[in-house]
Amino acid sequence: MEELKPNEQRAKTAILLIWIVMALEIMSLISGFLQFDLLQTIAKGGYISNETATTNDSREQIIAIIYLIAFIISGITFIQWFRRAYFNLHLKVNNLSHSESWAAKSWFVPFVNLYLPYQIMKELFHETKELLIKNGLTISENSMTKSLGWWWALWIINNFIGQFVFRYSLKAETVDELTISTLASIFANIIGIPLALITIKIIKEYSNIEPLLNELNDEDESMNDYIISKNNESEVN
């Protein structure tokens, strides 16, 4: 039976990048509150100097650019880990719902990306748990995450708010419009923090049990393949 491909370093890299993204979420959140305070001052007829306004705009732009770069790199490293984990499960389990390539491309196909990554992640945990238990390996209940539903709900909400902020901020000109955009951005940052923590938790939990797949009894798996082969021959005959 083929050995699993290494995935530990991919997990560590993905986790590190998610920590960085979360730190930037916190920075963006603080910056958003500062901008909201300035907008409230203007709305109440207060005076804001050009220097203060320019400093605020520059700070927001710099944080946004750094965040975007970190988010893209983080997304890449997460998908690399995710695809490798699903690939490794394919080595041990026959007839999974999707090919391992879907663990990557499912994030980019419109509409499909609203449900398929979650289904694959759920299958990843479920099938791994079933396989390990079937082969008599003891698994801690804490190792099988119960956070997948929350993870995916926060991801969907965060993405919809992010798209709203991006599109709305492009046409926001008045103080009221800028305030709405800022509040939406603050809300997205608040959601992004627990989303990052749950994602880290999921990666850690699966990374703890993935190496156990190498401890499976190759003879049992060979027998399963033999039975499947015989069944296919019977159907042909």
Q: Rounded distance, CA 194 to CA 167, Å? A: 24
pLDDT value of residue 130: 87
Q: Give 9-39 pLDDT, tens digit per residue.
A: 999 999 999 999 999 999 999 999 999 999 9
pLDDT value of residue 222: 43
Beta-carbon contacts of 2 under 8 Å, excluding residues fewer than 6 positions away, are 91
pLDDT value of residue 217: 59
Distance of CA 66 to the CA centre of its chain: 19
CB 182 within 8 A of CB 39: yes
Other residues' Cβ atoms within 10 Å of the Cβ of residue 44: 7
pLDDT value of residue 141: 59
Q: Rounded distance, CA 108 to CA 117, Å? A: 10
Among 212, 228, 30, 34, which Cα is nearest to 139's?
212
Among 130, 120, 124, 152, which Cα is nearest to 216's?
130
Among 205, 222, 213, 211, which Cα is nearest to 7's?
211
Burial of 27 (0-12, 13-18, 19+ CB in 10 A): middle
The sign one gets for the Cα dihedral 192, 198, 201, 203 is negative
Cα torsion at 17, 115, 65, 201 (round to 10°)?
-20
Which three-class secondary structure state does DSSP give residue 173? coil
pLDDT value of residue 95: 86
pLDDT value of residue 83: 97
Return contacts of 78-82, CB within 8 angstroms, 24+ apart: 78/14, 78/17, 78/18, 78/199, 78/203, 79/103, 79/104, 79/107, 80/10, 80/13, 80/14, 81/7, 81/10, 81/11, 81/13, 81/14, 81/203, 82/117, 82/120, 82/121
Give me the tens of pLDDT residue by residue for the chain, a chain 237 residues long. Answer: 567 899 999 999 999 999 999 999 999 999 999 999 999 999 988 889 999 999 999 999 999 999 999 999 999 999 999 999 999 999 998 889 999 999 999 999 999 999 999 999 999 999 998 888 888 776 665 555 678 999 999 999 999 999 999 899 888 889 999 999 999 999 999 999 999 999 999 999 999 999 888 877 554 444 344 334 444 554 444
Q: Rounded distance, CA 96 to CA 94, Å? A: 6
